[in-house]
Structure 1
């Protein structure tokens, strides 16, 4: 019997009160387990629930764990297993069609799926064999694959007959449909981050809590905040695959086998909490390139958002530990150079063997690096490895866990991620598409391929039609869709320290003589705004001190275009990683109520 989709949850009762757990089997019938006379500890109590279709208990139709807490009073607190959030009815904020620019788009789900290889229609998940078996796709060069119990995350990536390059960490395992499943959260996928930020990131006062009003230590995050992971939670809860489909079609210049997953991710640090997100992903092979297209639907109802941008793992990859040599491109001619020209190696000191003990760090982090080629590579000592290419992003991070030796089963691992900052995770009803590539091979072959691949990066041109953020995000202040579904930034909030950032891109300064800012400002009749920008290797302090140009706006709410002349401005040179709008220092000139509703920001006069 095919196991049903089931959920975990928390039930709160008095000791001795009956607990009922119900799952639906494949034929639609309900199967119920009832526990009576239980003595409960004060803290969380975990009960394993397992049902079978025969007396020998060899064919389970559901198996799960529920958390039971003791009620704090004599009355029974009503509780049932948590139902996964379903997509709520949120009016679409979009009035314009989606436009794909630099591998990024926003729009209705139907618009975004129209850009994908196909519109999913036939769910083949029911035909996937019982257990944690793998599905694979191969061409003459590369093999990719996914294990059933890991939410559609990429678990297999091989170069020819070589070993699996993706780390899955066999030191932490659970059972999925009777078979061993590796640790959630390794592999390769997209991990979404929103606000609240978490205890460790906002002075200890910003936890993200579960939807249930009944909370315990396992339903509050310990520091990460709002974070969903397609592979599952840190407690090893499995994210549900809602749809799996594979087709062989003419696509991307040839006949391709395209594999699609729709998954409802788990919150990473909250036990048994299913997120209000659908992660769609398409995979296909093209020579040594793995093409991957993500579509993210957000329908949050928890109301805890701060409406600010956060760094995404978008996408990330855990790679076998010997690929510890991380490279980014920091030059100004990304498609015209070969070998090691223009490269910066962001190597880490090796974590200790036996990491996690006193004086021996568990991991080392490179921090954020701008790659003007919009890629990062993780290579072994022979200069072979894996590269992530994101036309919509130039910010990347590398990490090394435990040591530089090991294989796909080791706890030790290399890690690279694209790190775009996005606001969309905080904006219910919005959808975005991000299209990336993984390249498998040597540094030499990668640079040859990259130079001729014709990758179109995100242009410096952003139209803020209803519902669209264009990848722009706010820091220190809120930015959300107003009643007209226009992106509205409280630019003067937080003591005037609000900042409004562009996506992390790579734009040559000498191609942008003027930046046109069109929109509506609200505040004083005359306000001074500051345009700042970053070049590779520069810090926020350097940006604020040396990379800025002030301009005056009128705060009467009238739509206007402001031309900010950049030609000849000091430090407006080389490759630009991002621009931002902020209040000139000192911040006292803003009252806190100033707002900005952008219509267009770019290098072309919109009038």
Structure 2
């Protein structure tokens, strides 16, 4: 196994959220909303609740045995390293497992006279594939086993903080087992009656809870990805923590260095945690390791949210080498907004909604005028500034301003508001006509080292329309 290195390339920030023992996939994992409210801080955990008896369907070969549970929303509740190994998946309650959990507003979310559970007042709209905080299972609408190595399941998830409340969406999952790898495709169709567009939220896509024996979180977080550079390991109990994973994978493994890894191409933001005592516990115990791929996404009322990922079972070296065989992540911007947002999202503004038709049409102004500014943000990236010598924006601005500001983050920058670099203002024409704006980044002060995210914002002090909702940015592409 590759030599472990406890030093990360960036200073990993501990979020202010301290999740408790009852943490399920409905956990809040951003600083936007409060942590769960648990008696005595959640320590010690109560006895494991009574769950519906498992109704599992299996895929297996000589390397892996995988089971989904029809009494747990069709989520993965069983996964072994080898056909006769111990189940690694934690099933303490119906918020753990290996599953999909999504987030949007409003906060709090109340419907049909139901209010959130007192432990989870700040989650908002949170459909969870397996069930709710009261351990009611989500409904499986249909399922099939297409062959010896393929499964399909469609689920109506439940809203985690509410009592037995079906979410206004449907989740579909396709699973295919090949060797020691399970490829998963996830598709969620939203059909919400509430048509408001809420701020982007962190998604759990997917989230993973393993038994306390799998306490070693391993990933590569350095600036030399795909070179077999030393790995990062975190192997003590820790609260929910951001990881900048520059090889697009992260793993939870046991003392022997075996377990599972999650690989998601072009996803650089993972989150990990460990609750309880490390190195002990089975699937019905509270001790658990947690891992999620955690992109920010806008969840429109009618959107189709799709993603794919791979579960790799085995040693850290096997997990890493699988990632090395996949297509490399982009080394520079190539965002074409033809049918989706490409992971772009917003702070204190909104766009015209779903579906996306060849452009992002974004309000170039503040939704809440009591806040200083707004932003149009890219997803997390890993670019070497020296390789990105120019940025091109095919865009049309409607604004009295004559400049817009480009800003960027580097490893260790917790958020844009904490940046020390001032950003760069470039000239624009606010007549609503499309132009290609080219920024020569070789002449931009501070554009150096590793770039982890970019954003567009109004130049502070620039003229604003009397009604900021009339300002507009129409963005077709961001390339180099």
TM over 0.5: yes
Counterpart position of 1:155? 77
Residues 365, 570 of structure 1: alpha-carbon distance in 2 compared, 3 angstrom cutoff: farther
* Counterpart-to-counterpart distance in 1, 2:319 and 2:402: 48
Counterpart position of 2:396? 520
Counterpart position of 1:140? 62
Counterpart position of 2:373? 497
TM-score, structure 2 normalization:
0.81
* Counterpart-to-counterpart distance in 2, 1:455 and 1:602: 18
Q: Does residue 365 in structure 1 map to residue 239 in structure 2?
A: yes
Residues 276, 395 of structure 1: alpha-carbon distance in 2 compared, 3 angstrom cutoff: same
* Counterpart-to-counterpart distance in 2, 1:459 and 1:285: 32
* Counterpart-to-counterpart distance in 1, 2:155 and 2:303: 17
Residues 262, 559 of structure 1: alpha-carbon distance in 2 compared, 3 angstrom cutoff: same
Listed as ranges, the matches of 1:405-420 within 5 Å are 405-420=280-295
Instruction: Tell me if structure 1 keeps the 8 A contact 2:115–2:162.
Output: no
Deviation at 1:279, TM superposition (A): 0.9
Deviation at 1:272, TM superposition (A): 2.2
Deviation at 1:406, TM superposition (A): 0.9
Counterpart position of 1:599? 476
Match of 1:193 among 100, 103, 112: 103
Residues 418, 216 of structure 1: alpha-carbon distance in 2 compared, 3 angstrom cutoff: closer
Deviation at 1:586, TM superposition (A): 5.9
Counterpart position of 1:279? 171
Residues 512, 141 of structure 1: alpha-carbon distance in 2 compared, 3 angstrom cutoff: same
For residues 189-213 of structure 1, what are the alpha-carbon distances to aligned partners after superposition, in whole Å with 9 as ceiling and x for unaligned? 11111122x2xxxxxxxx2111x2x
Greater relative contact order (CA < 8 Å, ≥ 6 in sequence): 2
Deviation at 1:367, TM superposition (A): 2.3
Residues 232, 584 of structure 1: alpha-carbon distance in 2 compared, 3 angstrom cutoff: same
Deviation at 1:365, TM superposition (A): 2.1
Deviation at 1:318, TM superposition (A): 0.2
The CA RMSD measured in Å over matched residues stands at 2.7
Deviation at 1:456, TM superposition (A): 5.3
Counterpart position of 2:221? 330
For residues 308-360 of structure 1, what are the alpha-carbon distances to aligned partners after superposition, in whole Å with 9 as ceiling and x for unaligned? 211000111001112222233223332221xxx24333454x3xxxxxxxxxx
Does the residue aligned with 1:272 lie in a helix, a strand or coil? coil
Counterpart position of 1:231? 130
Counterpart position of 1:126? none
Counterpart position of 1:298? 190
Counterpart position of 1:445? 318
Unmatched 5+ stretches in structure 2? 1-51
* Counterpart-to-counterpart distance in 2, 1:538 and 1:397: 16
Does the residue aligned with 1:445 lie in a helix, a strand or coil? helix
Deviation at 1:450, TM superposition (A): 2.6
Deviation at 1:215, TM superposition (A): 4.6
Stretch of structure 1 that moved more, 480-489 or 534-543: 480-489
Match of 1:462 among 323, 330, 335: 335
Q: Does residue 270 in structure 1 map to residue 126 in structure 2?
A: no
Deviation at 1:219, TM superposition (A): 11
Stretch of structure 1 that moved more, 455-464 or 184-193: 455-464
Instruction: Tell me if structure 1 keeps the 8 A contact 2:197–2:301.
Output: no
Residues 484, 499 of structure 1: alpha-carbon distance in 2 compared, 3 angstrom cutoff: closer
Q: Does residue 559 in structure 1 map to residue 434 in structure 2?
A: yes
Instruction: Tell me if structure 2 keeps the 8 A contact 1:141–1:159.
Output: yes
Match of 1:488 among 343, 361, 372: 361
Q: Does residue 398 in structure 1 map to residue 275 in structure 2?
A: no
* Counterpart-to-counterpart distance in 2, 1:448 and 1:208: 43
Does the residue aligned with 2:321 lie in a helix, a strand or coil? helix
Bigger Rg, which one: 1
* Counterpart-to-counterpart distance in 2, 1:599 and 1:324: 44
Q: Does residue 240 in structure 1 map to residue 139 in structure 2?
A: yes
Does the residue aligned with 1:567 lie in a helix, a strand or coil? helix
* Counterpart-to-counterpart distance in 1, 2:272 and 2:354: 37
For residues 442-487 of structure 1, what are the alpha-carbon distances to aligned partners after superposition, in whole Å with 9 as ceiling and x for unaligned? 122222333234455597322223x522221111222332899653
